[in-house]
Amino acid sequence: LSDCVSVCICSGQSPNETKMTRNYTTKGDSYYQKEFALTSVQSIDGDSLPDYSEFDTESVTLDYFKESTKRGPSPDKMAPTTTIETVTITRPLKVIAFICGVIVIILMILALTSTDWLMAESWRQGLFVHCIEEGYESPLPFNLQDPAGCYPSRDVAYIKATAALCIITLVTDALATFLTGLGLRTQDHNLKYKFYRIAVLIMMVALISLLVAVILYPICFAAELNIANRLVWEFGWAYGVGWGAAIFLFGAVVLLLCDKESEEIYYKERKIVHDASLRD
């Protein structure tokens, strides 16, 4: 404060101003405590400062960098990250066509192994075997002379043709169903559509074969009614199973043909925000 008084005098202040300044100086700390509401005046010791000078900018910069790295953002306050994932959704029509193909396989196995295609009194006829029941009345259908029991089917063209067409239906449908399953399983789109195209063509062959079989069988049998030796004839459940297989096969073909869009698998994009604060 004494230095301040000397500076004021040198700068050309009036005597009154100089006197006032001196009065301020001599009043001491009690004056400043009263005028400026200072409760205490503390001196600053130079030894309490850091070990670098006020012009040591390198030391200041290094200390600031260390402090900044220590105060880096915590994991709980980091910015959220966004993930875009692709979701593939398979249309259900192909799955239904596959199920129809499996049902056709089961029905065709039942139809081929059954002896209940054509039935009359004491007589049952299948595609590979015909059976004569006990206590039959003579003459037997088709003028046969066999005792009761089961025998290989008669050597007739339409029975063999029907059996062959049903076998073709079973094999082709099994192959088409297998290809449809591969199409559902694979992730390669080009290969997927190729499997579907081949499957629908093979299923069409199976459908045509089965339709020819179930239509040919009753027509050709009607030509044998003059030697049937029975008044009442009926088609058994196995023949009906053949028509049921044809219906399911037709449905599978229609489903594969109707769902020919290139977007059999389409993509949906959704954003998932991973926020660390939300996990706590």
Residue 6 within any structural domain of the chain = no
Within a domain: 179: yes
Is the per-residue pLDDT at 1 higher than 70?
no
pLDDT in tens, 22-52: 444 444 555 545 554 444 444 444 454 455 4
Burial profile 158-196: b = 16 or more Cβ within 10 angstroms, e = fewer: bbebbbebbebbbbbbbbbbbbbbbbbeeeeeeebeebb
Residue 136: what pLDDT? 79
Residue 227 lies in a domain: yes
Owner of token pair 């081929």: 112
In a domain, 74, yes or no: no
Residue 202: predicted pLDDT: 96
- Answer yes or no: is 247 within a domain: yes
Residue 182 maps to a domain = yes
Residue 239 has a pLDDT of 95
Assessment of whether the complete model's pTM goes beyond 0.75 = no
Position 66 in a domain? no
Residue 137, domain member (yes or no): yes
* The total number of structural domains that make up the chain: 1
CATH number at residue 127: 1.20.140.150
Contact 202, 94 (CB under 8 A): no
Which structural domain, as residue segments, surrounds residue 265?
A: 90-274
pLDDT at position 86 is 52
Decide: 268 and 84 in contact? Cβ < 8 Å.
no
